[in-house]
Structure 1
Amino acid sequence: MTAFVPATTLIDPLEALAARFREGGPARLTGHGSKDFYGGPLGEAEAVSTLALSGVLAYEPSELYITVAAGTPVAEVEALLAEHGQHLAFEPPRFMGAASGGTGTVGGMVATGLSGPARATAGAVRDHVLGLTLLDAKGELLHFGGTVMKNVAGYDVSRLMAGSMGVLGLIAQVTLKVLPRPVASVTLRFEASQEEALLEMNRWGGQPLPVSATAWWDGALVLRLSGAEAAVTAATRRLGGDVIPEAMAAPFWQGLRDQSDEFFLGARRAVQGGATLWRIAVPSTTLAMSLHGEQLIEWGGAQRWVVTPMAAAQLRELVTAAGGHATQFYAGDKSAGVFSPLGPQLTKIHKELKQQFDPRGIFNPGRLYPDL
């Protein structure tokens, strides 16, 4: 039996947080600090913890949703879902252990909007957020969305919070769509250059194959097939390649998901030497990009990681020309701006939203853009 946390147990910590926000003064929202590296500089704002907001509030396996408080570790949610043969299909990074600096929480997962290897086929974080409760700058609780997809209509504020970096308010609790874990899964490995890998990924994407994740790095193209046993078996026979034993495949995908594998560990070391790890989003059909540095490609070619000493302006010019945008993921020098600059219209929308939700500018100043 799952032990749920009564919603009444959150009243006291919510009231304390509300009183803090009504006082004014900049607040840096944080859980375990696992994603402090991401986004703009932390600045001098007072750290305000979400960890008192913890626990599962509701879970209906048959209805495919779970409601959890923001300070709940993602890993704990996943462990509960696994007991019922379910999971968070978008595979959010959990940032577990010392290598990642902390343990990722559900609130941080939504605020950063980060998704894992299955994002290209399962959707992003925002696609799985059904509802959300926000504590605003007035100390008031705002409720958005519901518990089923059909409740989503008009301007969906709950999904707007995904990737907002906490600049609009404190996410108090979230209702997420959950899905059954796939019955079967097989990982295949192919030798391929970057150019060959991109062509294969796009070819697979246009076929009725149960592809759930792809990755290319250092001459190896890795493909994960997931779904019904018959479909996975048929696709495995059709595609060929070397079958990677599950005992090796599972840690590989987990390492990509939690950004704890060799590529990301090496990137962190390179950043200490002056390089930057960039997260690049481009159309999946984009050909190999001439970027100085080591690259890892995911999401069928749509997400490309590169660790490089290239100047930010030079890299962003190349990425923009390809129809994409680039984000500084790990960086020592963030003076060029972590996120791609916005055009005039998007800047106006961002500022208007900030004014509506946080007119005094107390939440996470500078984490998304310097003037938000």
Structure 2
Amino acid sequence: MEKILQDFRERIQAASRYKTALCIQGGASKSWYGQHGVGELLDTRAYSGIVAYEPTELVITARCGTQLAEIEAALGEHHQMLAFEPPHFTQHATLGGMLASGLSGPRRATVGAVRDFVLGASLMDGRGELLHFGGQVMKNVAGYDVSRLLAGSMGSLGLITDMSIKVLPKPFAETTLVFALSEADALSRLNQWGGQALPISASAWHVGRLMLRLSGAEAAIHSAKKSLGGEEVRDAASYWNSLREQTHEFFLQGEEHGLWRLSLPSSAAPLQLTGKSLIEWGGAQRWLFTDESPQRIRDAARLAGGHATLFRAGDKSLGVFAPLAPAVAKIHHNLKAAFDPARIFNPRRMYPEL
């Protein structure tokens, strides 16, 4: 593996010397996310494998090119999981892509996002130097924030070479309830339930049906079912997987207008936007297919206290991510200058000016 790291280092140093852009990519499962990638391909898949896994410590350390399927298979043998349910989208998804994209699945609202589970990471910067941040236990907080910063950075700060991730035991039991509710009533119920001690692990509303997943001890689930009502759905695992992997029928409709992801306060009222929607994360994540203008979509999200991202397809020349406030943009520029002074890593993948 040292030779592979040395090859990475030489490629990066040469690219910095000649100001040649590099497009960092693993399994290409999320190559469509963000702005269009540019530059020479830097394939991470050769640098793979689980470095350390101690089930009793609830920590796994692996290299960036390791397939997510391999990670989850190893965890599954010990009845453990990546609690934030990262989407794969294809069988080739890698651990590095998981961290760089920062995407989480249905359980994110109750357990936290990718960044909340990153204990440590190593990064090869634009000078070819291998930097180490954080560690392998929660108590080791040296550089911890930098490790978390890499989640969702889209490879713009450097080549993430390996990382340590906190894992959790799988729940003892799970069940799913369904309720016939309007969008407004579903949001009201979700916010009401959110303030109660209920074992809710995921929620989703679409075309008048609210799906609610309960996870935990059998006694807790039984008590919650009596309190909540609703109708129990048998064998619902495939439903939640279809949301995680976006194979649900909602995500398979035409994308001529693009799929928007709106991040809002969970208590925000239904937005007055036309189109078809699906709501997750207790109301905090709202998917939307619409022919409304990007400006109107972003204005509506901003007025509701959130922001909008053009998640998939659509006209990316209008900007994928919400525009940055001047102070935040300055932080992004300073980070880019510190880690990638020659600006070779995934240029413009997040924002045109980066």
Contact 1:186 1:236 in 2 (8 A): no
For residue 96 of structure 1, report the CA deviation from its aligned partner: 2.6
> What is the root-mean-square deviation of aligned Cα atoms in Å?
1.0
Contact 1:60 1:66 in 2 (8 A): yes
Q: What pairs with 1:1-372 in structure 2 (closer than 5 Å)?
A: 10-24=1-15, 25-43=20-38, 45-97=39-91, 103-153=92-142, 156-246=145-235, 249-266=236-253, 270-271=254-255, 274-372=256-354
Structure 2 SS opposite 1:279: strand
Structure 2 SS opposite 1:350: helix
Structure 1 SS opposite 2:90: coil
Give the partner amino acid of 1:143.
Answer: H
Q: In the comparison of the two structures, how many residue pairs are matched?
A: 350
Per-residue CA deviation, residues 134-170 of structure 1 (Å, 9 max, x unaligned), is: 1111111110000111112566110000010100001
Per-residue CA deviation, residues 69-111 of structure 1 (Å, 9 max, x unaligned), is: 11111121111101001001100001135xxxxx211101100
For residue 299 of structure 1, report the CA deviation from its aligned partner: 0.3
Taking the aligned partners of 1:262 and 1:49, their CA distance within structure 2 comes to 32
Query: For residues 317 and 90 of structure 1, do their structure 2 counterparts lie closer, same or farther at Cα, with a shift above 3 Å needed?
Result: same
Per-residue CA deviation, residues 214-259 of structure 1 (Å, 9 max, x unaligned), is: 000111100000011110111012211111112xx00000111111
Structure 1 SS opposite 2:99: helix
Taking the aligned partners of 2:9 and 2:151, their CA distance within structure 1 comes to 22
Per-residue CA deviation, residues 48-78 of structure 1 (Å, 9 max, x unaligned), is: 1000111100000000100011111112111
Taking the aligned partners of 1:174 and 1:351, their CA distance within structure 2 comes to 24
Taking the aligned partners of 1:42 and 1:309, their CA distance within structure 2 comes to 25
Contact 2:61 2:164 in 1 (8 A): yes
For residue 331 of structure 1, report the CA deviation from its aligned partner: 2.0
Q: Which 5+ residue runs of structure 2 have no aligned equivalent?
A: none
Taking the aligned partners of 1:50 and 1:261, their CA distance within structure 2 comes to 30
Taking the aligned partners of 1:176 and 1:265, their CA distance within structure 2 comes to 32
For residue 332 of structure 1, report the CA deviation from its aligned partner: 3.2
Q: Which 5+ residue runs of structure 1 have no aligned equivalent?
A: 1-9, 98-102
Per-residue CA deviation, residues 105-140 of structure 1 (Å, 9 max, x unaligned), is: 110110010000000001000000000011111111
The percent of aligned pairs where both chains have the same amino acid is 55
For residue 213 of structure 1, report the CA deviation from its aligned partner: 0.4
Contact 2:133 2:142 in 1 (8 A): no
